[in-house]
Amino acid sequence: MRTRLLAALCLLAPAAALAAKDPRCAGKPAARAARFSDTALKGASAAERYAAYVQACALDDVVALTQTLVRFKTVSSEAPAAKNPEMAAMGRALEAWAKARGFGFRTVGENDVFELSWGEGEPLLGLVFHGDVVPAPAHEWKRAPFKPVVEKGRLYGRGVEDDKGPIASGLVALAMAKDLGLKPQGKVLIIIGNGEESDWSGMQKYAATQPKPTHVISVDSGYPVMAAQSGFVAWTLEAPVGTALTTPKEGTVARAVDVSAGEFLTQVPGTATLKLEPVKGQTPEAVLAAVKAAIVAESPARKDLKAEAKREGNTVVLTVHGVAVHSSTADEGHNALWDLSAVASRLSLEDNGIAALLRVVAKRFDGDHHGDKLGLKYEDALMGPLLVAPTVLRVKDGTVSLGVNMRRPQGQDAAAFNAALDAAAKRAGEDSGGRVKEGPNRYIGDPHVADTSGPLVKTLMGIYQRQRKEPDAVPGSIRGGTYARLFPRAVDFGPAFPKEPYTGHAPDESIALETLDLSTRMLAEAVHTLAIAPASEVKATP
């Protein structure tokens, strides 16, 4: 690759420059592109002109398109793609965008996948994203989640990082290449699945039945290149709540009548609540005093404990606050369930199902991200340790259930891991006097590992190392599961940078404008290198 191209692509715009408007970016796409033509930039190669155009003009387009996409409330857990009017509306908007720019567009399934295409021939490059988002509970947000805003150099809104900002980066990168008259040597696809946060069946069918591009890049996790993914695990523990005792055990102060934590399986709970009633012979005032005393007693062992208790009629409500994060980065947050179980363990509660399950949380989960207390812990050199996060606690129809999300690395096959879960469930039963048992619908996903020495990984690593000026960066692994695992040799490339907080499933989700800007430029270089002017060294191996 030419030295001048490398120099052009390695220019990093400082934060202050993001706010400046380059006069060459004024006007309609044709007028803008003319200012980056071979006539306007004499002596510059097509790759250099493309890099300059994207660096100067892409960010505003990416932000505007991201905001458009975020305004569609495409929460797949509330309504699947086939029955979600917001998903259908977003599809119509994407189709209009594509046709206005001369791209192909088609819907596969019942809004399961939106596919935009550029070029002719066999699929050469596929950029994979998802258009659905996780819920955005209003009580957790300081801003309106589906009314995106830019504040202090960050774009806020549900989906700006996961995954609508990346979609906009990919679309704008392709549009700008087309503006300049560049042409791919095969078909380039933008593949948007619409059930990543809930039901993968639509994208699974697409991946299994449609022609597979030579190179597939998912933009749904982090940098530098994520060549491995942990297996997704869903596990449930449950217990019957049971009826209140007519004659409470001596010393018992209260009975747990309700408990709640977490919003969905893939988010560490930021809030947890326990509702208590006084047993016979006790008063609400006595229960409130006991709960406040338990908070005080637990505080020295937990510097970050944030808990309060209040009386509501004849009941007392204990509320504990943590820090909600994506469950794949559970060790970067603070699980409110841990603290709730610790405070509850200091109370003299009637031994019903809620109290029993909280005891299990305190004994087998509290303070342990890696399943050591459950007897599950193991790790892999590339993918790191098993991650375990209790995320959803609810009472429904007389049963209290705990949803647990795990991310498991390679190094232990499914049979061995299933046996370890069987043993963990048995321990939980023993801890609770037989009350707690495993619930239904255990799911054990397999890890995904790409070829870290293959041409796709080498190409993307080269882009990252130059753009970030980090020549020693190496491929990594993620605990999350993305659509990359559905395509042979596929990897993830962005959008989150190392050591930056990932807010994808968190309240007030946001992404830095600098991150959007640099991600778009790196994606544009990947498009040029892999599809527009592919060199022999990046052609797929047989």
* Per-residue pLDDT tens over the stretch 168-216: 999 999 999 999 999 999 999 999 999 999 999 999 999 999 999 999 9
In this prediction, residues 468-485 reach a mean pLDDT of 92
Find all residues with CB under 8 Å of 411, minimum gap 6, and list them: 378, 379, 380, 383
Asked whether the predicted pLDDT for residue 540 surpasses 80, the reply is no
pLDDT over 90 for what percent of the chain?
Answer: 87
| Confidence category of residue 535, pLDDT binned at 50, 70, 90 | low
| Confidence category of residue 246, pLDDT binned at 50, 70, 90 | confident
Tell whether 149 and 245 lie within a shared domain.
Answer: no
Distance (Å, whole) CA 120 – CA 405: 42
Asked whether the predicted pLDDT for residue 389 surpasses 50, the reply is yes
Tell whether 223 and 255 lie within a shared domain.
Answer: no
Tell whether 301 and 427 lie within a shared domain.
Answer: yes
Q: Tell me the three state secondary structure of residue 153.
A: coil
What pTM did the predictor assign? 0.73
**Which structure tokens are listed for 370?**
């890696």
Tell whether 124 and 161 lie within a shared domain.
Answer: yes
Look at residue 12 in the predicted model and tell me its pLDDT: 34
| Confidence category of residue 453, pLDDT binned at 50, 70, 90 | confident
Asked whether the predicted pLDDT for residue 396 surpasses 80, the reply is yes
For the beta carbon of residue 386, count every other beta carbon within 10 angstroms: 27
Total domains in the chain come to 2
Look at residue 537 in the predicted model and tell me its pLDDT: 40
Inter-residue contact 186 to 531 (CB < 8 Å): yes
Tell whether 247 and 346 lie within a shared domain.
Answer: yes
Tell whether 427 and 479 lie within a shared domain.
Answer: no
Contacts of residues 465-472 at CB distance under 8 Å and 24 or more positions apart, as own/partner, are 465/224, 466/6, 466/9, 466/10, 467/9, 467/10, 467/12, 467/518, 467/521, 467/522, 467/525, 468/223, 468/224, 468/497, 468/518, 469/10, 469/12, 470/224
| Confidence category of residue 500, pLDDT binned at 50, 70, 90 | confident
Each residue's pLDDT tens digit, 30-69:
999 999 999 999 999 999 999 999 999 999 999 999 999 9
Distance (Å, whole) CA 440 – CA 386: 22
Inter-residue contact 506 to 134 (CB < 8 Å): no
Please report, for the domain that includes residue 113, its CATH number: 3.40.630.10
Find all residues with CB under 8 Å of 92, minimum gap 6, and list them: none
Look at residue 524 in the predicted model and tell me its pLDDT: 98
- What per-residue string of b and e applies to 391-427 under the rule 16 or more CB within 10 Å gives b? bbbebeeeebbbbbbbbbbbbbeeeebeebbeebbeb
Tell whether 414 and 516 lie within a shared domain.
Answer: no
Alpha-helix runs per DSSP H in 186-250: 201-209
Each residue's pLDDT tens digit, 60-79:
999 999 999 999 999 999 99
| Confidence category of residue 479, pLDDT binned at 50, 70, 90 | confident
Look at residue 216 in the predicted model and tell me its pLDDT: 97
Tell whether 398 and 454 lie within a shared domain.
Answer: no
Which of 421, 444, 467 marks a domain boundary?
A: 444
Tell whether 438 and 481 lie within a shared domain.
Answer: no
> Residue 173 to residues 26, 182, 442: CA-CA distances in angstroms?
17, 12, 41
Which of 444, 469, 498 marks a domain boundary?
A: 444
In this prediction, residues 371-400 reach a mean pLDDT of 96
Distance (Å, whole) CA 24 – CA 311: 63
Q: Which has the higher per-residue pLDDT, 503 or 4?
A: 503
Tell whether 226 and 259 lie within a shared domain.
Answer: no
Each residue's pLDDT tens digit, 352-366:
999 999 999 999 999
Closest by alpha carbon to 478, among 494, 454, 461, 460?
494
Range of the domain at 385: 232-444
Which of 410, 428, 444 marks a domain boundary?
A: 444
Residues 404/410/411/413 CA torsion (nearest 10 deg)? 70
Tell whether 307 and 326 lie within a shared domain.
Answer: yes
Please report, for the domain that includes residue 329, its CATH number: 3.30.70.360
Inter-residue contact 389 to 335 (CB < 8 Å): yes
Tell whether 364 and 241 lie within a shared domain.
Answer: yes
Look at residue 20 in the predicted model and tell me its pLDDT: 62
Look at residue 499 in the predicted model and tell me its pLDDT: 86
Look at residue 450 in the predicted model and tell me its pLDDT: 87
